[in-house]
């Protein structure tokens, strides 16, 4: 009995070319998880931000419905959102989501800068006030000085909390591009007790 060689020889037939049968099962699962994560990001957006993205009506309805659900129902709804988005153009959606999130982070950084400036005004005294007045010469010196004085009062007293809010509103108005009052000046104030 003769043994066959372990390694193919040049006389043997070439292997058949492999036929591509589509993405692997693992790749399909990774894609589905990515789309579900994208749907999860959509549920965290506000109504204004969703309007900017111009989603399909059924995807938008599913996202709005998902916001009110909890636990297991929410995870099922997220999978449904992923299923609804599967055949859609995701590159445009990712690009729009990136723009919305970039705008959010810029607003957050701006708000943190205003908070730091307010803290510096309350803790720093006249030097910090002069810095603000140098940066914004059109600011009302007397009003800012009064707000800072009121904010330095006994902690957690109602006038002090009110002065904290008013001081932040005034700083927002000064930092606004047109220097006027912002439409949402009273919403989303951070660090108020």
| The pair of three-digit structure tokens given for residue 33, joined into one six-digit string | 């998880």
b/e burial code for range 94-108 (CB count within 10 A of at least 16 → b): eebbeebeeeeeeee
pLDDT tens over the chain, length 193 residues? 677 666 666 656 666 777 777 778 888 888 888 888 888 888 888 888 888 887 888 988 998 999 888 889 998 998 888 888 887 778 888 888 888 888 888 888 888 888 888 888 888 777 888 888 888 888 888 888 888 888 777 676 777 778 788 888 888 888 876 654 444 444 444 444 3
pTM tops 0.85: no
Domain boundaries, given as residue ranges, for the chain? 25-88, 105-175
CA distances from 29 to 10, 79, 86, 115 (A): 41, 12, 12, 43
Give the C-alpha separation, 14 to 8, whole Å. Answer: 9
**Residue 147: what pLDDT?**
83
Q: Which fold has domain 105-175?
A: Diphtheria Toxin Repressor; domain 2 (1.10.60)
Q: Give me the pLDDT at residue 186, please.
A: 42
pLDDT at site 190 = 42
Q: What is the CA angle 105-108-113, rounded to 5? A: 125
pLDDT given for residue 48 in this prediction:
85
Q: Which two tokens stand for residue 170?
A: 């005034």
CA distances from 86 to 36, 40, 65, 111 (A): 9, 14, 18, 36
User: What per-residue confidence (pLDDT) applies to 47?
Assistant: 86
Q: How far apart are CA 25 and CA 28, in angstroms?
A: 5
CA distance 34 to 175: 38
* pLDDT of res. 102: 86
Residue pLDDT, tens place only, 157-191: 777 778 788 888 888 888 876 654 444 444 444 44
Three-state helix/strand/coil letters over 108-120: HHHHHHHHHHHHH
């Amino acid at each position: 009995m003769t043994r066959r060689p372990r390694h193919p020889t040049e006389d043997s037939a070439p292997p058949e070319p492999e036929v591509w049968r589509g993405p692997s099962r693992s790749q399909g699962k990774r894609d589905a998880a990515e789309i579900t994560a994208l749907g999860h990001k959509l549920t965290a957006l506000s109504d204004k931000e969703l309007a900017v993205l111009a989603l399909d009506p059924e995807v938008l309805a599913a996202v709005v419905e998902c916001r009110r659900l909890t636990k297991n129902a929410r995870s099922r709804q997220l999978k449904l959102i992923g299923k609804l988005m599967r055949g859609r153009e995701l590159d445009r959606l990712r690009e729009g989501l990136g723009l919305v999130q970039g705008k959010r982070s810029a607003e957050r950084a701006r708000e943190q800068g205003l908070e730091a400036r307010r803290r510096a005004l309350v803790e720093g005294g006249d030097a910090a006030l002069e810095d603000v007045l140098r940066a914004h010469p059109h600011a009302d010196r007397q009003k800012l000085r009064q707000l800072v004085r009121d904010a330095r009062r006994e902690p957690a007293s109602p006038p002090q909390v009110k002065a904290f809010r008013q001081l932040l509103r005034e700083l927002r108005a000064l930092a606004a591009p047109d220097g006027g009052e912002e439409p949402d000046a009273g919403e989303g104030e951070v660090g108020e007790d």
